[in-house]
Amino acid sequence: MTDYIESLQVLAEKFASLQGVGKKSAMRMAFSVLELDEDSAKEFADAIVEAKTKIHRCPICGNLTDKDECYVCSDLSRDTSVICVVEDVKALMSIEKVREYKGVYHVLHGAISPVNGVTPDKLTMKELIERVGQNEISEVIIATNPTQSGEVTAMYISKYLKPLGVKVTRLAYGIPVGSDLEYADEITLGRAIEGRRDV
């Protein structure tokens, strides 16, 4: 079949090497590349090399950037005394979309999961503890994912930061806004009851 069109097969394999791209989609995308004009295909190729070469971790917070510092750290209007700790850049982007948070971030690049070989030293945990120890930090908001490894990570962070005298908080768990109680799982519902507030 397509094995006979070797360069198409090679391209499809490259697409399939990306996270979450199956073989069928990869082949569809490879075909789609053939439908681009020559210049667009060249630009696509250049964009891959450029992104890979230019983008690196922000030396302050670990966010991705193609500048010296990321756009959050270089934004003078942000409150650098509040650090929100996230597992990855996608989480950071989700919080930024809300446009409510005015502090800065710390990206761990993962969550503790010994089973998968992710120990604290594989994350930017040391950098976080140093950063909190060396700067005037009023609050650290832990925004790791509400999963088992996210929880373990949150507990680990708070264990190391609390002795430094910094206020450590965790994002609230509860029923998602606009959803129906009927469809909430028991754990979420349990947390929602536990975290109930006066009205």
Q: Going by DSSP bridges, is the β-strand pair 79-86/139-142 parallel, antiparallel, or unpaired?
A: parallel
Q: Does 2 bind its own copies (CB under 8 A)?
A: yes
Q: Does 65 bind its own copies (CB under 8 A)?
A: yes
Q: Does 70 bind its own copies (CB under 8 A)?
A: yes
> Of 43 and 79, which has the nearer Cβ to its own copies?
43
Q: Does 184 bind its own copies (CB under 8 A)?
A: no
> Of 96 and 127, which has the nearer Cβ to its own copies?
96
Distance between CA atoms of 103 and 80, rounded to whole angstroms?
6
- Non-local CB neighbours of 106 within 8 Å, separated by 6+ positions: 61, 62, 83, 84, 85, 86, 124, 127, 128, 131
Q: How many residues bind its own copies (CB under 8 A)?
A: 52
Q: Does 126 bind its own copies (CB under 8 A)?
A: no
Residue 57 burial (10 A CB sphere; 0-12, 13-18, 19+): middle
> Of 24 and 162, which has the nearer Cβ to its own copies?
24
Question: Residue 140: beta bridge partners?
Answer: 83, 168
Q: Residue 184: how many CB atoms within 10 A of its CB?
A: 16
Task: Please give the residues from 29 up to 48 whose contact with its own copies meets the rule CB under 8 A.
Answer: 29-36, 38, 40-48
For residue 198 the two structure tokens come to 């006066």
Task: Please give the residues from 147 up to 176 whose contact with its own copies meets the rule CB under 8 A.
Answer: none
To the nearest whole angstrom, how small is the minimum distance from the Cβ of residue 190 to its own copies? 31
To the nearest whole angstrom, how small is the minimum distance from the Cβ of residue 74 to its own copies? 9
3-state helix, strand, coil in the chain (%, to 5): 50, 15, 35
To the nearest whole angstrom, how small is the minimum distance from the Cβ of residue 162 to its own copies? 32
**Contact residues for its own copies, defined by CB under 8 A:** 1-2, 4-8, 10-11, 14, 17-21, 25, 28-36, 38, 40-55, 64-66, 70-71, 89-90, 93, 96-97
